[in-house]
Amino acid sequence: MIAAMITACAQGGQEKVIHDLPKAIDVKAFLSERELVRGVSREAWAALDLDGLNGPDGEIRALVTPHHAAAVALAAEAIGRLAENPPPAVIILGPNHYNTGEGATGTTSDFVYHGDRISVEAAALSRLAAKGLISLNDAPFEQEHSVGMLLPVIRWYLPEAKVIPIIFHHGYEAQKIIDIIKELEPETDGGAVIIASIDFSHHLDRDRAAERDIKMREYLENGDAATIAGLDSSFVDSPTIMSALLLHFGTEGMEIIANTNSGVLMENPSSDCTSYFTIQFCQAQI
């Protein structure tokens, strides 16, 4: 789908139209076409050999997905769950890895992936900025893979959806993130889905990362948002985003879809690795 669009957009007739559009932030550096096509294939999902690859039990309100390119198949499997009932918009909450700009930052500029434009819901972001909940700044998004890696996957499955990207400094207060989620209720009540872009354990070998994930699973299943908010990067890279989702949605409709780490995926037991959970928060159908 996107590969076909990429080919079409390279032809002269459409290229001029793209150049005439307002500025867009290019995200092709964060995920190659080859990684995207491989990641969205069911063969890649089957190769993960993970439990929990069943469909959602009810309407998906939020997802947690990784933003590490090594785990694109995990992100794609989770985001692909939205394709049957496509939301009009996707709210992306991710870490600002470089802590540039203000504590909570959005952008009203669109994104582009190999000529394929990904539209931003600018009105919602402008409303948040007017209320002092976020600042608007393109620059952090030009280098931020927590948003840039997911956008091609979102576009693949949800070509009509607009995006509402917001990134946070490390340790940004969970309650302030919840305030932003609540301000976006007109969008979520209208069907928008939240995607929290979160990687978990960092800088440990495969076995030690798995041990951390056992504890993390316990915190998640117990809804222990306070403990999660205080964890370091050996457990999770965005503790307060994860904590905010637990506080806002609770655990009743939460399901852990999958959990693994890059040491397992790359068959490397000794190198530093990153671990991943994919999680869905569903509203039961009445």
Domains of the chain in start order, with CATH, are 22-283 (3.40.830.10)
Beta bridge pairs of residue 25: 111
DSSP 143: S
Q: Which residues of the chain have pLDDT under 70?
A: 1-21, 49-57, 270, 284-286
For 204-219, what is each residue's pLDDT tens digit?
A: 999 999 999 999 999 9
pLDDT value at position 205?
92
Cα separation, 166 vs 173, whole angstroms? 14
pLDDT value at position 284?
58
pLDDT value at position 161?
98
Q: What is the CA radius of gyration of the chain?
A: 18
pLDDT value at position 6?
40
For 112-166, what is each residue's pLDDT tens digit?
A: 999 999 999 999 999 999 999 999 999 999 999 999 999 999 999 999 999 999 9
pLDDT value at position 54?
59
Cα separation, 39 vs 6, whole angstroms? 17
pLDDT value at position 18?
44
pLDDT value at position 265?
87
pLDDT value at position 53?
53
- For the chain, strand residue ranges (E) read 24-26, 59-65, 89-95, 104-106, 110-113, 116-118, 135-136, 162-168, 193-197, 202-204, 254-261, 273-283
pLDDT value at position 56?
64
Cα separation, 77 vs 70, whole angstroms? 14
Structure tokens at 268: 């490397």
Cα separation, 271 vs 4, whole angstroms? 37
Is this structure's pTM higher than 0.75?
Answer: yes
